[in-house]
Amino acid sequence: MLSSAIITDLCVCVYVHVWGLVFTCSFDPKSYHSESRRNKWSGEIMIWKCNRDVLFVCCRFSPLHHAALNGNLELISLLLESQAAVDIRDQKGMRPLHYAAWQGKAEPMKMLLKSGSSVNGQSDEGQIPLHLSAQHGHYDVSEMLLQHQSNPCIVDNAGKTPLDLACEFGRVGVVQLLLSSNMCAALLEPKKGDTTDPNGTSPLHLAAKNGHIDIIRLLIQAGIDINRQTKAGTALHEAALCGKTEAVRLLLESGINATVRNTYSQTALDIVYQFTATQASREIKQLLRDASAALQVRALKDYCNNYDLTSLNIKAGDVITIFLCSDNLLPVLFFLRL
């Protein structure tokens, strides 16, 4: 409702309340005209049209933000007709388009995009609207954003792309959509600094960590490097640590290397022994032991047989791999000097 008006010699400043939010506009009393429309929420909204921009004030969360969040097409139309700033930012740097994407509102998206809203405008957290629609599994909205040249390779402040978030939260349809984009091909390849970045991750790591089997299959079919490593190790390390038995099984069946060590010199089996003690971890231990068919130990001290020149010389710190080659458990020894 219209709460107050301040009249001066030059202009009138009108304060309009919409669902407890406030916006103001100034106009020349000699040239303005008003337009009121009945709405289903609370009486009448007075939209005062003028030659100057409409300014929105309420903790920087404008009526256009609110309308986009709630999918209110009539109010969006009224506000845009009144020249509301389509890319106004709230206190978190979010634009109305972010909220429409978050809620999966296709029609509000169309209206905002038609009015020139930026598809690649980032919030204070570095997210574009596609991050939000991908995370929440909104296929149609994600497709619309891609059609308007949204960049799926943009990373947020946490180092994640829209594909990363779709994989992390198990949004199979959106993952399929993003993988069909030529721009996402680069996201399947290892990146420089993967093994040193503390926030380094990959779509496969995130899917494995959360046990999203269908997404793991999609990524492998798309050609992702299955042995891609981060500081934490491979996707097998993540699945094993989080107790995702079926993810571990699928990765092993797909040919992942079970003997890869992370930056802390741990295999996936090492991690399971060190950090977990659940029923799932017991199954995972067996899967990993069967996959490697080997036992790896580290030499505690030097060993040298001076009487047999053909014998192995082992130094402290060498990793010794024992392959059990038959049922009588006769071992064959190999060692790797680090």
**Which residue ranges make up each domain of the chain?**
1-115, 293-338
What's the confidence (pLDDT) of residue 315?
A: 80
What's the confidence (pLDDT) of residue 125?
A: 97
pLDDT 10s digits, 287-312: 998 887 655 566 777 878 777 767 77
Angle, CA of 89, 141 and 146, to the nearest 5°: 90
Residue 277, CA distances (Å) to 4, 267, 271 in order: 66, 17, 11
What's the confidence (pLDDT) of residue 38?
A: 38
What's the confidence (pLDDT) of residue 109?
A: 95
What's the confidence (pLDDT) of residue 296?
A: 58
| Burial grade of 60 (CB within 10 A; 0-12, 13-18, 19 or more) | middle
Does the domain spanning 1-115 belong to CATH 1.20.120.1460? no
State which residues of the chain have pLDDT below 50: 1-58, 325-338
Whose tokens are 């008003």? That residue is 34
Give 93-105 as a DSSP string.
S--HHHHHHHHT-
Determine if residue 154 is left, alpha or beta; phi over 0 gives left, psi from -120 to 50 gives alpha, anything else beta.
Answer: beta
> Could you give the CA distance from residue 247 to residue 227 in angstroms, rounded to a whole number?
14
pLDDT 10s digits, 117-167: 999 999 999 999 999 999 999 999 999 999 999 999 999 999 999 999 999
Strand order, beta sheet including 2-7: 2-7, 12-18, 21-27, 55-57
Residue 313 DSSP one-character state: P
- The pTM of this model reads 0.72
Q: Which fold has domain 293-338?
A: SH3 type barrels. (2.30.30)
What's the confidence (pLDDT) of residue 298?
A: 67
